[in-house]
Structure 1
Amino acid sequence: MRVIFGLGITNFIKICCLFGCVVAYANESKVLPVDTGTQYIGFSTISVAGSTVKVFYEIYDADFKHAEVYNANLLNGEPTPQREELNLAKKYNLTALPSFVSNKYLYIVTSQKYWGKNGSVLRVNTENNAIEKVVMPRGLSVGSLLRFKSLTDGKVLATYRAGKSNIFVAKSKDGLNFVGEQSITVGTMPDISSFGDGRLISTYQAGPDLHNMQVYFSILDKSGSVSQPKRIAEHKNIHDAFTLLRSDGNVDVYFVKQAENDERLILSRRCTDHQGNLGVEEVLLDDKKYNVAKPSAQTFNGNEVIVSFINQTGPASSSLHYMKLDGEAPSCEVLTPKAG
């Protein structure tokens, strides 16, 4: 239980909201390094198998013409985890966009160029290293920003961008053949997750430029109809949403937003339910040492959460870090008060 001024986090938020606040600050968790010596690290994904927690992540060279996926063990007592290269697809210049499903299958995208339709999607069984080709509804590349998530019924979801930044969703019964492609909206940085009742949440970002982005989400019901988009928060500049199913069947959305007094980005999260109701936003990391980007999260050991993210120190330089949180975001029952 997080405690603030002697109060549990839920009671603190309820009292705080009586006075009009819409953001809660979590007790700051210790930030631990994963990889601090590389050129540029992008997306990461976390797997939990028993007591073993691993992070898989992509590393690009200086001109973004080559990328490879690495992994490292977390929570094993090492001050800095030892990274290991996967070496799965050396015939491609770019091997990137790792996504973990069911803590067993690692999806990656391989292509010769960042943009284009010349890529292949592969699924790696991390228990026996078997590699299988994934069939998608259309040609994709690393620039498609493909992500995979498992559904509560065992099916697998994929979301990606294609064409003129159109965002699509497709499903698969076996995790290898994806069909039923559905156009959601126009945007970038898509993610997808399922609620406990089987409905879906699609997140993405859109805006006129990188300094004026917003994160939106829509709810997809079981018939496939898509709700009107809603903003995850009302801040000026929000990026990089990641969705995670909660123990109560709702979804936590992790995102980064611009700090109050400078241009660095800080890490927040917020609960949403299948009706689009939002809980109070919880700030997880607001430290001048970190310019946070591309968070990824996974539950372990009950309701604890591991969050990986990059500290973006320049246009082509970053380092990978992680935090261990002792619970989920404040529930959707602790609602943000309406303005006025």
Structure 2
Amino acid sequence: MDSSLVEQQRLSLEMPISPASNAKWHVVDGNKVGLVYREKLCCKLYFSISNNGIDFDKPSYIGNSGSMPYLSSFSDGKLLYLFQKGFKTSKTKANGEPIFIMKSHFRMSNDMGKTWGEPTPLTLTNATVHDATAVSRSDGNMDIYYSYPVDEEGELSLWRRCIKSNAKLGDEELVVEHDFGNIAKPSPHRLKNGQVLITFVEQGKVVLEGDHNIHAAVISSDAICN
């Protein structure tokens, strides 16, 4: 690999998508390409698979609406579909309108996306849970990284937990001290030496007004998988 760019190719996908579809791909079943995305208009979530990475089969609705889709797979071939969806809380804004929060969930498939298990929340906190991503482990399990506040009204902190292919979740672990800042968009990468390089954004107290600072850290061990 010489890091040179190849010519762009237009994907063949029956359903039109947009930047808001947040399409993500992952190599599945050896050399096939799985694609997860949200419909263009909002907000059903879909899965498609391709033998060559260009021509994708008919979009398959997973049975959920949401955003921020993400796909990964276990060593036994099961697929993990991460996404977040909105919920109305019992709280209201000053003008009386209800407050909504986002909660990250996962669904799993043991038949290459033909059917999906029930949606399961990543954590039972009452706070918003954002931006779930995953990285494979040498033991065949995965670690999921995501953001939510230590206390319900606080800034987002970075967390992780192990997930097994039987959908069992390990204990939650705080990855970065909660006073580091308002953390979002974690992206874990497995290094050749087995460590994990995690990149993330510190987005400031007022997300739309401050600078978004990109950070990285190297983690020497995986999450506890009990």
- Could you tell me which amino acid in structure 2 is paired with residue 182 of structure 1? S
Distance 2:171 2:144 in 1: 12
Residue 295 of structure 1 contacts residue 310 of structure 1 at CA under 8 Å; is this kept in 2?
Answer: yes
> How many Å apart are 1:195 and its aligned residue?
0.9
Distance 1:249 1:132 in 2: 33
- Could you tell me which amino acid in structure 1 is paired with residue 38 of structure 2? R
Query: Which one of the candidate residues 214, 217, 220 is aligned to 1:323?
Result: 217
Q: 2:175 maps to what in 1?
A: 284
Query: Which one of the candidate residues 105, 109, 112 is aligned to 1:216?
Result: 105
> How many Å apart are 1:126 and its aligned residue?
4.0
Residue 160 of structure 2 contacts residue 223 of structure 2 at CA under 8 Å; is this kept in 1?
Answer: yes
Distance 1:177 1:290 in 2: 42
Residue 78 of structure 2 contacts residue 109 of structure 2 at CA under 8 Å; is this kept in 1?
Answer: yes
Residue 303 of structure 1 contacts residue 328 of structure 1 at CA under 8 Å; is this kept in 2?
Answer: no
Within a 5 Å distance, the mapping from 1:87-166 to structure 2 comes to 126-162=3-39, 163-166=41-44
Residue 82 of structure 2 contacts residue 104 of structure 2 at CA under 8 Å; is this kept in 1?
Answer: yes
Distance 1:137 1:300 in 2: 36
Distance 2:168 2:202 in 1: 30
Residue 259 of structure 1 contacts residue 286 of structure 1 at CA under 8 Å; is this kept in 2?
Answer: no
Other structure's SS at 2:184 match: strand
Q: 2:95 maps to what in 1?
A: none
Higher share in strand: 1
| 1:219-243 residue CA offsets vs partner (Å, 9 max, x unmatched) | 1111622111111111122111012
Within a 5 Å distance, the mapping from 1:127-206 to structure 2 comes to 127-162=4-39, 163-184=41-62, 185-206=64-85
Within a 5 Å distance, the mapping from 1:44-59 to structure 2 comes to none
- Could you tell me which amino acid in structure 2 is paired with residue 177 of structure 1? D
Q: 2:116 maps to what in 1?
A: 226
TM-score, normalised via structure 1 length: 0.58
- Could you tell me which amino acid in structure 2 is paired with residue 197 of structure 1? D
* Higher CA-based Rg: 1
Distance 1:320 1:152 in 2: 33
Distance 1:247 1:137 in 2: 36
Work out the percentage of aligned pairs sharing the same amino acid: 25
Other structure's SS at 2:108 match: strand
Distance 2:36 2:67 in 1: 11
> How many Å apart are 1:135 and its aligned residue?
2.1
Within a 5 Å distance, the mapping from 1:25-104 to structure 2 comes to none
Determine which structure has greater relative contact order: mean sequence separation of CA pairs < 8 Å that are 6+ residues apart, divided by chain length: 1
Residue 203 of structure 1 contacts residue 241 of structure 1 at CA under 8 Å; is this kept in 2?
Answer: yes
Q: Where do 5+ consecutive residues of structure 1 fail to align?
A: 1-103, 105-124, 335-340
> How many Å apart are 1:204 and its aligned residue?
0.8
- Could you tell me which amino acid in structure 2 is paired with residue 292 of structure 1? I
Distance 2:217 2:173 in 1: 15
CA distance 1:327–1:281, shift in 2 (3 Å): same
> How many Å apart are 1:261 and its aligned residue?
6.7
| 1:19-58 residue CA offsets vs partner (Å, 9 max, x unmatched) | xxxxxxxxxxxxxxxxxxxxxxxxxxxxxxxxxxxxxxxx
Q: 2:165 maps to what in 1?
A: 274
- Could you tell me which amino acid in structure 2 is paired with residue 173 of structure 1? N
> How many Å apart are 1:262 and its aligned residue?
4.4
> How many Å apart are 1:327 and its aligned residue?
2.0
Other structure's SS at 2:147 match: strand
Residue 87 of structure 2 contacts residue 103 of structure 2 at CA under 8 Å; is this kept in 1?
Answer: no
| 1:230-277 residue CA offsets vs partner (Å, 9 max, x unmatched) | 111111221110122221111211100112274200001111112110
TM-score, normalised via structure 2 length: 0.85
> How many Å apart are 1:211 and its aligned residue?
5.8
Q: How many residues end up aligned between the 2 structures?
A: 209
Q: 1:32 maps to what in 2?
A: none
| 1:271-293 residue CA offsets vs partner (Å, 9 max, x unmatched) | 11121101111110123232111
Residue 15 of structure 2 contacts residue 59 of structure 2 at CA under 8 Å; is this kept in 1?
Answer: no
CA distance 1:180–1:244, shift in 2 (3 Å): farther
